[in-house]
């Protein structure tokens, strides 16, 4: 499954055109945007049993894909819809509104990770058409929804949400009510006019028909016993009911009619023609299936970086430019964060300085109170936080707010506390990160901060281009070959008591992050130093066989390699990470030179190494001891 997705992604980029840069093949992005999987979970059921318990169970299993709001809609014994949805996690909503008393044997359900529109009940799915007869759940982004909305408004349709999704049921209603099409034809016509990625399930109350369609976002069909059918973003949603699945391809549109649920039909919405797909049996258990081919979420999330970095870099230009203007205007800018988020801030401070000649103060959020006296009304504080709930960050934000400072948050979780306090926010759009370790959200933070630095330097387009070119590098860095090679290194390092890490400039921040990754998941002591600091004390720790990682880039090469030689001459075991090997390296991890983007690419092999170390040492990489995903204690 994993290799399959990678092949599909590769093919998509390949078809989009090839550009060469240095010796690496780079795949040009299509003008319509890359097919990314925006997270959200969808599950639908049509069959002979009560739908609500099946849908509720499915939602719980899909919550790793999104958890800011959820809803279930069923068609009751007649043709009426019964709908319950709200903001919050699935179980919280269920405790509040009892999702199980929805009647009917056909229904759709959704757990949301907000992309278009805030986290509100109105924006939660399912969405219903104006005449109340068509209901939809959707995962993905409909890029041309504003045009479609305007056209529908001119036909008298009105909208209650800020979502892109709400155009879909209304478009179908338009084709049925105004243009006289039947439900299936109306759905096919509507899907044809959508641009962007989607997995959609739509139901019609009158005909009790369910249609699921996909284009760039995941959707699988589950074929149960006794005329029971499931459509879901991911197999675990229905794995307790059936192991027989049909993998759907882009364009596939499954039509299930409740009057005849002993059969289903698959059409290609682009041609209207029937397609045949085999029913295949899966042998996974539920836990395994949620992670796909991966044994742990950490590895899954590391591998997702091929998409998530691009997604983080695909920001709304106007938002980035407005925030750039605020940065320019401010008298004093602070970048604050904790843990990995702080390392992203530190890394960015080098880039702001080098690229845009702009001084930025980088402070650990937990130490921010020491700077209180420097906070004025024209000070700008940029809080970088995956969760948006880290108490040290929230305390710092509150302190800055009291002083009248402007706050920008760079956050992954929409609707989180940090976004509520901030004057403006940039979202990482990395999807939920389940492993306690920051991996994909760290590189997403770097991507956003890099974009800001380029924008501040008046080079926004160049920044976007550079980040786009990184796709191919990240693809290779997360490949099976790389993992196999890093496993050899992990085997060698797993018996070490200490590992040291060296870097200079922005790669000093990478060294700090590498040491954090290794220590928090393998429990091996790992410590980072700026290359130049080695001779000021730490060199006394180096003896025969002491493992030392060295991050090398073109602009730091001569100095960091001389630090490497200092290690070598004391018998250290040298691990080089960078564009070219030297004889002194005992182990070399090749990462092509990416200039300003080196901090994004060079950390990836060490994330994999840390993962491999944890596995070899028998630790759970997703739940390291003593750590929590969101640190809400001081």
How far is the C-alpha of 210 from the C-alpha of 222, rounded, in Å?
Answer: 14
Contact assessment for residue 397 and residue 375, using Cβ atoms and an 8 Å cutoff: no
Judging by beta carbons within 10 Å of its beta carbon (0-12, 13-18, 19+), is residue 151 exposed, middle or buried? middle
The candidate with the shortest Cα–Cα distance to 585, out of 552, 628, 538, 618, is 552
Nearer to ligand M6R, 338 or 515 (CB): 338
Nearer to ligand M6R, 428 or 493 (CB): 428
Three-class DSSP labels, 206-262: CCCEEEEEEEECCCEEEECCCCCEEEECCHHHCCCCCCEEEECCCCEEEEEEHHHCC
Nearer to ligand M6R, 360 or 437 (CB): 437
* Phi–psi pair at 404, nearest 5 degrees: 85, 10
Structure tokens at 464: 């976007």
517 is catalytic: no
Nearer to ligand M6R, 80 or 630 (CB): 630
Smallest separation, CB 93 to ligand M6R (Å):
24
- Catalytic option among 40, 338, 345, 405: 40
Nearer to ligand M6R, 466 or 520 (CB): 520
Instruction: For residue 439, give the 3-state DSSP assignment.
Output: coil
How far is the C-alpha of 439 from the C-alpha of 603, rounded, in Å?
Answer: 9
Smallest separation, CB 425 to ligand M6R (Å):
14
Cβ neighbour number for residue 458 with a 10 Å cutoff: 11
Alpha-helical segments (H) within 529-570: 557-568
35 is catalytic: no
The candidate with the shortest Cα–Cα distance to 2, out of 414, 288, 278, 266, is 288
- Strand-pairing partners, residue 215, are 198
How far is the C-alpha of 236 from the C-alpha of 240, rounded, in Å?
Answer: 8
- Closest residue by beta carbon to ligand M6R: 339
- Strand-pairing partners, residue 209, are 204, 257
Smallest separation, CB 385 to ligand M6R (Å):
3
Nearer to ligand M6R, 362 or 438 (CB): 438
Q: Measure CA 557 to chain center.
A: 33
Nearer to ligand M6R, 245 or 336 (CB): 336
Nearer to ligand M6R, 213 or 409 (CB): 409
* Phi–psi pair at 111, nearest 5 degrees: -120, 130
What distance, in Å, lies between the first and last C-alpha atoms of the chain?
42
Smallest separation, CB 432 to ligand M6R (Å):
12
Alpha-helical segments (H) within 234-368: 286-290, 297-303, 305-313, 317-329, 339-356
Smallest separation, CB 438 to ligand M6R (Å):
4
Smallest separation, CB 418 to ligand M6R (Å):
8
- Catalytic option among 243, 403, 459, 629: 629
How far is the C-alpha of 260 from the C-alpha of 215, rounded, in Å?
Answer: 26
Judging by beta carbons within 10 Å of its beta carbon (0-12, 13-18, 19+), is residue 166 exposed, middle or buried? buried
Helix, strand, coil share (%) of the chain residues, nearest 5: 40, 20, 35
Nearer to ligand M6R, 399 or 630 (CB): 630
By CB under 6 A, name the binding residues for ligand M6R: 338-341, 385-387, 390, 393, 436-438, 520, 627, 630-631
DSSP state of 435: S
Q: Measure CA 441 to chain center.
A: 7
Smallest separation, CB 144 to ligand M6R (Å):
34
Contact assessment for residue 160 and residue 199, using Cβ atoms and an 8 Å cutoff: no
How far is the C-alpha of 166 from the C-alpha of 567, rounded, in Å?
Answer: 61
Residues annotated catalytic, as ranges: 40, 629
């Amino acid at each position: 499954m994993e290799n399959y997705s990678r092949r599909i992604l590769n093919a998509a980029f390949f078809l989009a055109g090839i550009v060469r840069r240095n010796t690496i093949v780079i795949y040009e992005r299509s003008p319509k945007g890359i097919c990314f999987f925006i997270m959200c979970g969808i599950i639908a059921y049509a069959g002979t049993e009560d739908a609500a318990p099946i849908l509720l169970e499915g939602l719980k299993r899909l919550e790793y894909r999104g958890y800011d709001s959820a809803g279930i809609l069923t068609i009751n014994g007649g043709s009426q819809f019964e709908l319950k949805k709200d903001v919050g996690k699935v179980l919280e909503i269920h405790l509040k509104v009892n999702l199980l008393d929805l009647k009917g044997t056909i229904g759709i359900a959704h757990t949301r990770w907000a992309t278009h529109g805030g986290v509100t009940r109105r924006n939660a799915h399912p969405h219903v058409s104006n005449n109340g007869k068509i209901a939809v759940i959707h995962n993905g982004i409909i890029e041309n929804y504003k045009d479609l909305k305007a056209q529908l408004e001119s036909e008298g349709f009105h909208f209650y949400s800020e979502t892109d999704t709400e155009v879909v049921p209304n478009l179908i209603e338009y084709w049925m009510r105004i243009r006289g099409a039947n439900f299936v034809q109306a759905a096919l016509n509507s899907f044809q006019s959508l641009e962007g990625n989607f997995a959609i399930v739509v139901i019609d109350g009158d005909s009790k028909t369910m249609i699921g369609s996909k284009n760039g976002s995941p959707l699988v069909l589950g074929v149960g016993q006794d005329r029971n059918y499931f459509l879901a973003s991911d197999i675990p949603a229905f794995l307790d009911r059936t192991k027989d699945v049909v993998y759907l391809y882009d364009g596939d549109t499954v039509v299930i009619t409740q009057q005849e649920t002993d059969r289903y039909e698959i059409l290609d919405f682009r041609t209207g023609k029937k397609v045949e797909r085999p029913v295949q049996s899966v042998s996974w258990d539920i836990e395994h299936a949620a992670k796909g081919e991966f044994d742990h979420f950490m590895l899954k999330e590391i591998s997702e970086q091929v998409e998530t970095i691009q997604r983080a870099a695909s920001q709304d230009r106007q938002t980035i430019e407005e925030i750039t203007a605020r940065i320019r205007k401010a008298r004093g800018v602070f970048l604050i964060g904790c843990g990995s988020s702080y390392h992203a801030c530190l890394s960015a401070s080098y880039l702001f300085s080098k690229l845009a000649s702009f001084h930025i103060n980088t402070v650990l959020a937990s130490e921010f109170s020491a700077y209180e006296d420097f906070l004025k009304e024209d000070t700008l504080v940029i809080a970088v936080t995956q969760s948006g709930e880290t108490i040290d960050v929230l305390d710092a934000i509150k302190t800055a707010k009291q002083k009248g400072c402007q706050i920008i948050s760079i956050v992954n979780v929409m609707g989180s506390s940090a976004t509520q306090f901030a004057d403006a926010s940039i979202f990482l759009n990395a999807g939920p990160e389940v492993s306690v370790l920051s991996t994909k959200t760290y590189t997403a933070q770097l991507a956003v901060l890099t974009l800001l630095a380029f924008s501040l330097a008046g080079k926004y387009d160049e920044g976007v281009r550079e980040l786009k070119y990184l796709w191919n590098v990240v693809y290779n860095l997360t490949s099976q070959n790389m993992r196999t090679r890093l496993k050899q290194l992990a085997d060698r390092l797993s018996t070490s008591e200490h590992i040291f890490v060296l870097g200079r400039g922005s790669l000093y921040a990478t060294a700090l992050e590498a040491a954090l990754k290794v220590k928090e998941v393998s429990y091996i002591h790992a410590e980072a130093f700026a290359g130049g600091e080695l001779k000021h004390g730490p060199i006394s720790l180096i003896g025969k066989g002491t493992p030392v990682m060295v991050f090398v880039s073109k602009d730091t090469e001569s100095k960091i390699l001389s630090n490497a030689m200092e290690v070598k001459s004391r018998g250290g075991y040298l691990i080089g990470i960078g564009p070219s090997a030297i004889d002194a390296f005992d182990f070399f991890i090749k990462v092509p030179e990416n200039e300003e983007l080196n901090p994004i690419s060079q950390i990836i092999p060490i994330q994999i190494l840390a993962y491999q170390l944890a596995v070899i040492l028998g630790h759970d990489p997703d739940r390291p001891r003593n750590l929590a995903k969101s640190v809400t204690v001081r």
